[in-house]
Chains A and B, each alone.
Chain A
Amino acid sequence: MVISDKLDKFFDEKMKEYPTRRSFLVPMLLYSQDEVGYLSDEVIAYLAKKTELTELEVRNVISYYSLLHTKPMGKYHVQVCTNISCMLRGGEEILDHCKSKLGIGHKQTTADGTFSLEEVECIGACSWAPAVQINYDFHENLTNEKMDKVLDQYRSKAK
């Protein structure tokens, strides 16, 4: 099994609440990505079977959403917002800082697999711009120094 039995059972249970099998595809993609780390070929094949779609159709959906990944991402996925509010408050500098600090670019992963970096559109944290989302956690009102601390925190967590 490409995903845990628990998740598989959960899918079967939840599927009953949807009018058609394909309606449940996007939530299943998100759950699977959280568990496996990315949407591997095996996960795609598994979900295609589950939804009775072709693998191509599953890939079409994945390619539509930038938050779904078909390549392994870092353990901590750093998503830097550069949309208007964050841009005005230095979001692009934060992004540049992350790039030089981590030594990777947009949609790249560090060699040790700890971090990956992505420039994203608005994450809904405008009031506390500039903001960064790492996995599902938000870090707000950032400066380069604060960003360093945040990254260090995660790096020590990874060890």
Chain B
Amino acid sequence: MAEVKNVTITVDGKQVTAPAGTLLIEACKAVGIEVPSFCYYPGLSLQAACRMCLVRIEKMPKLQTACTVPITDGMVVATDTDEVRQARKSMIELLLGNHPLDCPVCDAGGECELQDMTFKYGAAESRYMEGKLHKEEQQWSPVVFFDRPRCILCYRCVRVCGEGMDVSALGVQLRGSSSVIAPNEGDHLDCEECGMCIDICPVGALTSGAYRYKTRPWEMKHVGTICTHCGDGCKTTLGVRRSDTGMDIVRGDNRDKSGINGDFLCIKGRYAFDYFDHKDRLRQPLVRKDGKLTPTTWEEAIEHVGKRLREIRDSKGGQSIGVIGSNRTTNEENYLLQKFARTVLGTNNIDHHRTTDFAGFARAIAGKQNATATMRDVASAPAILLIGNDPTERHPLLAWNIRTNVRLHQAKLFVVNSQPIKLRRQATRFVQVPAGREGKLVAFLNGDDAAAGALTGASGSNDALKQLRDELKAQKDLVIIFGSELQGADIAALVKFGSAANAKFICLGDYANSRGAADMGLYPDLLPGYVALDGPHKYNEEWGSLSKTKGMGLQEMMQAAKGGKLAALYVVGSNPVVDYNFDPAALQNTFVVVQELFLTETAMLAEVVLPAASAYEKGGTFTNTCGDLQLLKKAGDITGIKSDFEIIVRVAERIGTEVRKLVPFGSGVRADMGQTRGAQSGEADRHSVWLTANNLEPRLSPFDPYAMLDEIQRLVPGYEFSRLSLLAGNDQHMLAAELSAAGAGDALVQIVPANDTLFTSGTLGRYSKTLNSVIENKRAPADKEVMAD
């Protein structure tokens, strides 16, 4: 691409140099001059509807809209003269002609762009004598409400829905002062319910069903953390407020736009935090007494678990105990769990619900340099190949980044799928292959022309496939993204194809920290960082000698349970009975302990159920499906629960382990400075009150996940990052897969993709009021027809 020339302009006496073609409004922003605007929004098409960004440009006859004027050399601009101020004041006066003055009850009051501008330009008194047009508020979906008179017709919502989301569910009807934003189904919306329109609304016209009339913006504290649903790892800012049980989460948005997701959040990130205070949330430990799960104290429950596990370990050996980890607990918890299994319980029988073949990916990519792409790469790569998966449903941020990249940078997108997925609409080339034959396509890409027969049928022509292959080979800096359709040898073949062109890869897994679960070694044959059990590694040095014998995976555990050889099963944040078809009958004589948020099908079979914190109620780190590490901060509080980290440490202590060996706390200079306590931290005095109340040494506790993070950083290959950057809330790309020394490994693993949709999210989704109401609402029309029959 030709180098873009820089041009210099003068704004309010300041010299500004920026590439030619930069919009004046952006050039002003670069030197800290704010030009107000309602309709202009970076990344969306230009509208010039609100006329708020009017500025005086020398030699131009009239005031110009800074949002549509590209800068040219020598341009002299004034943004803050009496003339400009008067123009802006008049625009606000016009907007306020119909806008109600209900700021005291409006959700946006306090964070409303129109309110801010009115204060700044002072159009508080109106010269209009006409009455204001009033229309009743409308509910368009369970999550979207529209208050028509508040709308200032900036069209941001229409554009973000059409251009950003590729949904086009909003439009403008009528004209002039009667113009009104309208939903696609007349009086309601049929859309992806992402809530982008609400977030982008500069006033309180579009409001959120979950948040409306609940609180005022200044009454909340804002905690930037990571969404707990899919594997994309969007940053979400939770608005939290004091309640009688601690801290309540009232809102999820992305107000600082700082994370890997920029402006974006889907319905889950924005609303589906609401499972955290569901009435069915477990708030007390349960122990089975006379065949019934009975509420009890933490003391009794932990004592019971510790005692029984010790007995079983000492009498039957560690190999009779199985451990199942989670896709949604933190890296520190996952690391601690496998360390607990291997060093305290003395077993390599540890596994987790594998939604994709991360281990196979690590094996394929081991030893390559910079071969994995970040989520940010997807938004800027010149070319992308997507094989399998449906990111619109299962990886909404990835889909958003792909769409944005195609729209703003004309990236080339190649899609291979067994279904006509929605992203085909952005694709340069879309190739549909029969389900289950994605591997054949990879073989074809690698030059095996005979594989085309399996893709096109006997009579079909393979011209389209050949074209795809030729085009892909011509791409530079290709990012290759694949779903769980490709496993084991197919991934290796794909890596072979891509490496020839220096492509970077992303392997797509489901749930918030499935990559973290894999990276942290929730495998019977792999230690953290995909380090082979029988290979050379540093864990022996710190943990003492480890068994080199491969443990049982999930299926083998089930077989062992059926054969009466599984004496105990320790399950953390997983529901294998549903997700993995783990036969409940097999567990009749097994001592089952479950750490969970809800009484799942697996928890119902347990002897002891320990109520665990969700990821909104604890600190730590998550690794997204691309391998980007991010900080998780505590936002809410639920009484009666403990974090999985604390539970595991307490159980280990009761088994008789020296806790300091398990969690290297109290050493070194790094310690929990209050990050784990999120919104509760801040003032030093409150911090020390919390520590005292929990009988802890100041700043140093065995429940400090950051002590574990120290060990992760020290021992796990590829987990090298800046602690300061992490604490600042930045994402950092981990190279665990590239630096792994994964051995031959187990090829016969069962991968069970979660197959979640935009509106489901495993166990957590089942308890989200918002997700359920949206699903219910989408089903409703069909039900009505049945009633009429």
Contacts from A to B (Cβ < 8 Å) = 54-57, 59-60, 63-64
Which of B169, B173, B182 counts the most chain A CB atoms within 10 A? B173
**Which 3 interchain pairs have the tightest Cβ spacing?**
A63-B173, A60-B171, A56-B184
- Decide: A56 and B175 in contact? CB cutoff 8 A: no
Residues of B within 8 A of A64 (CB): 173-175
Collect the chain A residues with CB atoms within 8 Å of residue B168's CB.
54, 56-57
Query: What are 26 A-B pairs at a CB distance below 8 A?
Result: A54-B168, A54-B171, A54-B184, A55-B184, A56-B168, A56-B169, A56-B170, A56-B171, A56-B182, A56-B183, A56-B184, A57-B168, A57-B171, A59-B171, A59-B173, A59-B182, A60-B171, A60-B172, A60-B173, A60-B182, A63-B173, A63-B174, A63-B175, A64-B173, A64-B174, A64-B175
Considering residues A54, A56, A59, which has the most beta carbons from chain B within 10 angstroms of its beta carbon? Answer: A56
Cβ distance A136 to chain B, nearest Cβ, rounded Å: 23
B: interface residue count bin = 10 to 19
In the complex, what's the smallest C-beta–C-beta distance from B224 to chain A, in angstroms?
A: 35
Complex Cα spacing A54 to B190, Å: 12
In Å, the complex CA distance between A64 and B171 comes to: 12
For the complex, give the distance between the alpha carbons of A57 and B161 in Å.
13
Q: How far is the CA of A56 from the CA of B158 in the complex (A)?
A: 11
Interface residues of B in 162-187 (CB under 8 A from A): 168-175, 182-184
Residue among B171, B174, B182 having the largest count of chain A Cβ atoms under 10 Å:
B171
A59 vs B170: C-alpha distance in the bound complex, in angstroms?
11
CB neighbours (8 Å) of B172 from chain A are 60
Q: Which residues of B contact A60 (CB under 8 A)?
A: 171-173, 182
Question: Given contacts A56-B184, A59-B171, A64-B175, could you give 19 more A-B pairs where the C-beta distance is less than 8 Å?
Answer: A54-B171, A54-B184, A55-B184, A56-B168, A56-B170, A56-B171, A56-B182, A56-B183, A57-B168, A59-B173, A59-B182, A60-B171, A60-B172, A60-B173, A60-B182, A63-B173, A63-B174, A63-B175, A64-B174
Please report the C-alpha to C-alpha distance between residue A103 and residue B370 in the assembled complex, in whole angstroms: 79
Q: Measured between C-beta atoms, what is the minimum distance from A15 to chain B in Å? A: 21
Interface of B, secondary structure class, is: strand
In the assembly, what is the distance between CA of A59 and CA of B173, in Å?
7
Give residues 76-120 of B contacting A (CB, 8 Å).
none
**Contacting residues, chain A, for B182 (C-beta < 8 A):** 56, 59-60
Which residue of chain A has the shortest Cβ distance to B175 in the bound complex? A64
The residues of A that contact B169 with a CB separation of less than 8 Å are: 56
Nearest chain A CB to B190 CB, angstrom units: 10
Q: Which residues of B contact A56 (CB under 8 A)?
A: 168-171, 182-184
Main SS of the interface on chain A?
helix
Instruction: Report Cα–Cα, A60/B169, bound state, in Å.
Output: 12
A63 contact set on B, CB distance < 8 A: 173-175
Question: What residues of chain B lie closer than 8 Å to A57, measured between beta carbons?
Answer: 168, 171
Residue of chain B at shortest CB distance from A54: B168
With most chain B CB atoms within 10 A of its CB, the pick from A55, A59, A63 is: A63
Q: What B residues does A54 contact at CB under 8 A?
A: 168, 171, 184
In angstroms, Cα B175 to Cα A111, docked, is 30
Residue of A nearest to B169 (CB): A56
Interface hits, B504-558 → A, CB 8 Å: none
| A64-B173 Cα distance, complex, nearest whole Å | 6
Q: How far, in Å, is A126 (CB) from chain B's closest CB? A: 23
Most chain B beta carbons < 10 A, residue from A54, A57, A60: A60
Kindly provide the distance from the CB of B140 to the nearest chain A CB, expressed in whole angstroms: 13
Distance in angstroms from B88 CB to nearest chain A CB is 28
B536 to nearest A CB, angstroms?
A: 60
| Distance from A84 Cβ to chain B, minimum over Cβ atoms (Å) | 19
Q: Shortest beta-carbon distance, A58 to chain B, in Å?
A: 9
A101 to chain B, nearest CB (A): 29
Give chain B nearest CB distance to A34 CB in angstroms. 22
**B 131-173 binary contact with A (CB < 8 Å = 1; else 0):** 0000000000000000000000000000000000000111111
Question: In the assembled complex, which residues on chain A have CB atoms less than 8 Å from the CB atom of B175?
Answer: 63-64
Bound: A56/B174 CA distance, A? 12
> Please, how many angstroms separate the alpha-carbon atoms of A63 and B182 in the complex?
11
CB distance from A11 to the nearest CB of B (A): 23
* Distance, CA A59 to CA B182, complexed state (A): 10
Which chain A residue has the least Cβ–Cβ distance from B168?
A: A54
Q: How far is the CA of A63 from the CA of B169 in the complex (A)?
A: 16
CA distance A54 to B167 in the complex (A): 10
Shortest distance from the beta carbon of A53 to any chain B beta carbon, whole Å: 9
Chain A hits for B184, CB < 8 A: 54-56
Q: Return chain A residues, CB-CB under 8 Å to B170.
A: 56
Residues of B within 8 A of A59 (CB): 171, 173, 182
Min C-beta distance of B47 to chain A, whole Å: 15
Cα distance A55–B184 in the bound complex, in angstroms: 8
Contacts of B174 in A (CB 8 A): 63-64
A2 to B270, CA, bound (A): 43
**A55 surroundings in chain B (CB, below 8 A):** 184
Q: Determine how close the nearest CB of chain B comes to the CB of A21; give it in whole angstroms.
A: 15
Smallest CB–CB gap between B294 and chain A, Å?
56
Assembly CA distance A137 to B169 (angstroms): 39
Compute how far the CA of A56 lies from the CA of B168 in the bound complex, rounded to whole angstroms.
Answer: 8
A15–B173 alpha-carbon span in the complex (Å): 25
Q: CA A69 – CA B21 in complex, angstroms? A: 43
- Chain A residues contacting B183 (CB-CB under 8 Å) are 56
For chain B residues 341-365, which have a beta carbon within 8 Å of chain A?
none
Q: Which residues of the partner chain A approach B173 to less than 8 Å between Cβ atoms?
A: 59-60, 63-64
- In the bound complex, what is the Cα–Cα distance between A56 and B169 (angstroms)? 7
Chain A nearest CB, measured from B712 CB (Å): 49
A70 CB to closest chain B CB (Å) equals: 11
CA distance A63 to B180 in the complex (A): 10
> In whole Å, how far is A32's beta carbon from the nearest beta carbon of chain B?
19
Nearest Cβ distance between residue B269 and chain A, in whole angstroms? 26
- Docked Cα-Cα span, A110 to B174, in Å, equals 25
Q: How far is the CA of A89 from the CA of B658 in the complex (A)?
A: 102
Least CB distance, A25 to chain B, in whole angstroms: 13
Residue of B nearest to A60 (CB): B171
Nearest-neighbour CB distance to chain B for A63, whole angstroms, equals 4
How many whole Å from A78's CB to the nearest CB in chain B?
23
Contact string against A for B residues 448-461, beta-carbon threshold 8 Å, 1 for contact and 0 otherwise: 00000000000000
B164 CB to closest chain A CB, in angstroms? 15
Within B207-221, the residues touching A (CB, 8 Å) are none
Q: Determine how close the nearest CB of chain A comes to the CB of B287; give it in whole angstroms.
A: 57
* A59 CA to B172 CA, complexed, in Å: 9
Residue of A nearest to B173 (CB): A63
User: What CA separation (Å) do A55 and B169 show in the bound complex?
Assistant: 10
Bound: A59/B184 CA distance, A: 9
Q: How far is the CA of A60 from the CA of B184 in the complex (A)?
A: 10
Separation of A60 and B171 alpha carbons in the complex (Å): 6
Taking the closest CB of chain B, its distance from the CB of A41, in whole angstroms, is 10
When chains A and B are docked, how far (Å) is the Cα of A59 from the Cα of B181? 12
CB of A29 to closest CB in B, whole Å: 15
Bitwise interface map of B from 180 to 204 toward A, beta carbon under 8 Å scored 1, else 0:
0011100000000000000000000
Give the Cβ gap from A73 to chain B, nearest Cβ, in Å.
Answer: 19
Bound form: Cα–Cα A63–B174 in Å? 5
| Bound CA span A56–B184, Å | 5
Interchain CA distance A56-B183 in the complex, whole Å: 8
In whole angstroms, what is the CA distance A60 to B162 when docked? 14
What is the bound-complex CA distance between A54 and B173, given in angstroms?
14
- A134 and B82 alpha carbons, distance in the complex (Å): 52
B171 CB contacts on chain A under 8 angstroms: 54, 56-57, 59-60
Bits for B221-265, please: 1 = Cβ < 8 Å to A, else 0: 000000000000000000000000000000000000000000000
Closest-by-CB residue of A relative to B180 is: A63
Docked pose: A64 CA to B176 CA in angstroms: 9
What per-residue 1/0 map shows which CB atoms of B468-490 lie under 8 Å from chain A?
A: 00000000000000000000000
Cα distance A80–B168 in the bound complex, in angstroms? 37
Distance in Å: Cβ of B186 to nearest Cβ of chain A: 9
In the complex, the chain B residue whose C-beta lies closest to that of A53 is: B168
Provide the B564-592 mask, 1 if CB < 8 A to any CB of A, else 0. Answer: 00000000000000000000000000000
Closest to A66 in B: B175
Cα A154 to Cα B722 in complex, Å, equals 85
